[in-house]
Amino acid sequence: MMQTLSSPTLAVLIKIAVTRTAKEIHTSLLAANLDRFITETSSKERLVQTVLVDARRAAHKGDKDAHRGLLTFAKEQTSGFRHPSKLGPESLLFQLKEALLADGYDLMWDDPTIRTDIDLDSWIEIDKGPVTYHIRPTDAPGTEMAGEISALEAQLNAAGFEVALNHYKQAVDNLNHHNYEASNGALRPMLEDVTFRVAQKYGYTGASGGNAINFMVDQKKVVPEKWGRLMQGAWGISHPEGPHPGRSSADEARFRMLIITSIVRRLLQHAGL
């Protein structure tokens, strides 16, 4: 299934779109080549909701034009916003930026304002035009997080690590629904259970996931030394921004998912599981 924009992101787009006129909405749909999904002309909210959901369904089935159309529609919705520096963090623009980050895209902008210093304590700002917005993928070229996630789920299932698999599915589901703190909080026990079970296979008798990693590194069990240090780093980043102490951003949650997923996959491979 092709990865595309999530339901929370579509919800933000609908909230933005309904603040536009019906004519502006239709123009945005035409610009995004999503007018082919128009099947009814009811309320603005119903129109946008139906088109975006149908386009997302088509994208999931492999329609690349539908996926590109959703991204284009998202960019179209940035027109009309005031300068980002004049908007609060709870504004729809920043809600869209946060939602897109969780889906693997970054909403960026070019600031046309020129600031010229007059002296040490004063300056003037010259507005050179409207802010220009761009949507760029956050993943490195060739990185497909959905494929890595599916592969790890299959590995955990094959190894019989049911507890870890359950925690991992919770982490993925929470990330998909933009519950970032809960996603991070579920990754930690998944990592702990896997490292503990693998270390037990090689003679570990303790009860701590962190000590299990140290055991494998110190005893040179399972993983090469450099990979062991990487695992220790993953264990470290799985702790500070979990479900309780403060808010975890979309980018942080996605980064943890990518790193921990990759490391656990390699650990299971090294262990022959």
Position 243 pLDDT exceeds 60: no
Quote the pLDDT of residue 183.
86
β-strands 132-137, 105-110 pairing: antiparallel
* CA–CA separation, 85 and 269 (whole Å): 47
Between 151 and 56, the higher pLDDT residue: 56
Minimum mean pLDDT range among 20-34, 174-188, 229-243: 229-243
Number of H helices, E strands in the chain: 11, 4
State the Cα–Cα distance between residues 165 and 153, nearest whole angstrom: 6
Of 241 and 136, more confident? 136
Rounded-to-integer distance, Cα 111 and Cα 131, Å: 6
pLDDT of residue 26: 93
pLDDT over 70, % of the chain: 81
Instruction: Provide the residue type at 160 as one letter.
Output: G
d(CA 171, CA 56): 22
- With 50 as the cut, is the pLDDT of residue 140 above it? no
Domain ranges of the chain: 7-137, 145-270
Give CA–CA dist 191/264, Å, rounded.
7
**Residue 143 confidence (pLDDT):** 47
Q: What is the average pLDDT across 258-266?
A: 88
- For domain 145-270, give the fold: Four Helix Bundle (Hemerythrin (Met), subunit A) (1.20.120)
Per-residue pLDDT band for 49 (boundaries 50, 70, 90) equals very high
When the pLDDT of each residue in the chain is averaged and rounded to a whole number, the result is 81
Instruction: Give the model's pLDDT for residue 255.
Output: 82
Which residue has tokens 């870890």?
164
Structure tokens at 37: 């999904």
pLDDT of residue 121: 64
CB 222 within 8 A of CB 203: no
Chain-centre distance of CA 145, in angstroms? Answer: 9
Helices (H), 61-179: 64-76, 92-102, 145-159, 162-176
Residue 176, CA distances (Å) to 9, 165, 194, 216, 254 in order:
10, 16, 22, 33, 10
Q: Residue 113 — pLDDT band, cuts 50, 70, 90?
A: low
Q: Say what the pLDDT of residue 114 is.
A: 57
